[in-house]
Amino acid sequence: MSHSPGRTKVALITLDGQSLPDAVVQELAQAGVDLSVSECTNRADLAAHAADADVVWLFGGSRVLHDGNLAALDRCWAILRTGSGTDNVPVDEATARGILVANTPAAFSDGVSDHVIGLLFTVVRRLAALDRSMRAGRWEQATAVPLNSVEGRTLGLVGFGHVGQLLVRKLRGFEMRVLAHDPYARPGTLASHGVEPADLGRVFSESDFVSLHCPLTPETHHLVGEAQLRLMKPSAILINTARGPVVNEPALIRALQEGRLAAAGLDVFESEPPAADNPLLKMDNVVVTPHGAGYSVNGVELRWRHSIAALAALAARRWPPSCVNRQVRPRVELSL
């Protein structure tokens, strides 16, 4: 990678099928970034392309940094994952190596929060079932009686980051009681949004609707399992736009089949795409979408914009807007 003294070397190692806009290159150059681009699929690619990079940039969900491949990045002190979830980055290993891990959740929060609301109302009002009934030639208003109303009900949130906060603001007119569990939320954040802090047990037992907004980590893998699902009201609805493995899928299927849970709205699955014989795809009380919650009309533009902001901060030796391992001791000194 060619670079100039005093500038930050950034290696973009995956583009997720996108084309790199010239304007992005120009803005990064103005911010003091020397950028190189090469699709990396293995450790040899990383060693050849990114060994001397200060910052390694993943535009998307590539898992090339797993399997010990961080060892190929001799100079790296920061990783930027354009996106929200960082399950494709070995965060613990990066932290141990003094590598900061940044992401861009704000680029997706508007689309995801809209999608949650769409799933919520589609499930509650049984819109998908009504649509299928009409397409089959039936005009039967009672085909799908709503499962519940939304106004005045209790919404439970697992995770209260960008999406959860925006979701609460957008739903405010429905005068819902909102509970949230987020052990990493800054003090006062929940109260400032009119949200009541609660442990997981209360979130699942008291909520009419539970929406998941936590990252996938070893701590949150199968966070929602048999025990949590048994706490939920039989009339309750589960919505997952986070990551599939946060939910124990066989346990969810049993809860739905046995009538212990009224319905679910799912944008993510344990295995993606789900197998054709996955029971969730055949249940009338489940609405499914193909991991597309983060898409929006200007979604790609937002991803570039927030990535530029993060990289410009790193080039200026500042903490980026969003960092998932704030406890890290970076190899370089950063200001706030």
Q: What are phi and psi of 84, to 5 degrees?
A: -105, -60
Q: Is the four-CA dihedral 183, 185, 187, 191 of positive or negative sign?
A: negative
Which amino acid belongs to residue 22? D
Beta bridge partners of 238: 210, 264
Q: Can 333 be counted among the known catalytic residues?
A: no
Between CA 96 and CA 136 the distance in angstroms is 58
Q: Which of 258, 272, 301, 318 is catalytic?
A: 272
Between CA 251 and CA 227 the distance in angstroms is 9
Beta bridge partners of 263: 237
Q: Which of 243, 249, 303, 306 is catalytic?
A: 243
Q: Is the four-CA dihedral 54, 32, 330, 94 of positive or negative sign?
A: negative
Between CA 166 and CA 147 the distance in angstroms is 25
Q: Which of 7, 260, 291, 305 is catalytic?
A: 291
Q: Can 221 be counted among the known catalytic residues?
A: no
Q: Can 272 be counted among the known catalytic residues?
A: yes
263-266 and 33-37 strand pairing: unpaired
The secondary structure element, H or E, covering residue 177 is: strand 177-181
The 10 Å Cβ neighbour count of residue 185 is: 18
Q: Tell me if 179 sits within 8 A of 206, measured CB to CB.
A: yes
Catalytic annotation, residues: 243, 272, 291
